[in-house]
Amino acid sequence: MTHLAGRGIADITGEAAECGMLGYGKAGQQTTGIHTRLRARAFALAEGTAAGDRRLLLVVCDLPLVSGGLVQEVVRRLPDGWTESNVMITATHTHCGPGGYFHHALYNSNTGGFRPKTYSAIVDGITQAARAALDDLAPAELSLAHGELHDTSANRSRRAFDRNPAHDRAHFPDAIDPHTTLLRIAREGQLAGAVHWFPVHNTSMTNTNTLISSDNKGYAAYKWERLEAGADYLAPEPQELITAFAQTNAGDMSPNLNLRPGSGPTENEYDNTRITGTRQHRSATDLLGRATALTGPLDHRITHLDLSRTEVGPDFTGDGRAHRTGSPVGGAAALAGAWADGRGFAGFREGRNPLWDAVSRRVIYALSPSLRDAHAPKALVLPAGPLNRLRPMIQERVPVQLLRIGRLYLIGIPGEVTIVAGLRLRRTVAGVVGADLDDVLVASYSNGYFHYVTTPEEYDAQEYEGGSTLFGRWQLPALCQTAASLATAMRDGRPVHRGTPEPLPPARPYKRVPPPDAPHPGRAFGDVLSFARIGDRVTATFVAAHPNNDLRRGGSYLTVEHLQEDAASWTRIADDGDWSTTFRWARSSRTTSTATLTWTVPAGSPPGSYRLRYDGDTPAGTFTGATEPFDVR
Q: Which residues, including other chains, have CB under 8 Å from residue 493's CB and lie 6 or more apart?
A: none
Closest Cα to residue 21, out of 248, 201, 205, 198?
Answer: 205
Q: What stretch of H or E contains 596?
A: strand 593-600
- For residues 4 and 142, what is the distance between their CA atoms, to the nearest angstrom? 9
Closest Cα to residue 401, out of 272, 285, 335, 490?
Answer: 490
CB contact at 8 A, 139 and 186: no
Q: Determine how many CB atoms are found less than 10 A away from the CB of residue 173.
A: 8
Exposure of 449 in the CB half-sphere (CA atoms within 13 A): 26
Q: Which residues, including other chains, have CB under 8 Å from residue 26's CB and lie 6 or more apart?
A: 110, 207, 342
263 classed as catalytic = no
Give how far Cα 277 sits from Cα of 216, 570, 594, Å: 4, 32, 31
Residue type, 368: S
CB contact at 8 A, 175 and 158: yes
Give how far Cα 35 sits from Cα of 116, 213, 430, 538, Å: 22, 5, 41, 15
- For residues 273 and 197, what is the distance between their CA atoms, to the nearest angstrom? 17
CB contact at 8 A, 107 and 21: no
Catalytic one of 204, 254, 308, 468: 254
Crossing angle for the helix pair 68-77 and 116-135, nearest 10 degrees? Answer: 40
- For residues 121 and 15, what is the distance between their CA atoms, to the nearest angstrom? 9
- For residues 379 and 101, what is the distance between their CA atoms, to the nearest angstrom? 30
Q: What angle do CA 67, 68, 71 make, to 5 degrees?
A: 95
| Neighbouring-strand partners of residue 562 | 571, 610
| Neighbouring-strand partners of residue 481 | none
Q: What stretch of H or E contains 386?
A: helix 384-390
- For residues 276 and 261, what is the distance between their CA atoms, to the nearest angstrom? 14
Give how far Cα 624 sits from Cα of 34, 443, 612, Å: 18, 43, 11
Q: Would the CA dihedral through 132, 135, 138, 141 be positive or negative? A: positive
- For residues 169 and 421, what is the distance between their CA atoms, to the nearest angstrom? 11
CB contact at 8 A, 221 and 202: no
Exposure of 102 in the CB half-sphere (CA atoms within 13 A): 28
3-class DSSP state of 172? coil
Q: Which residues are catalytic?
A: 254
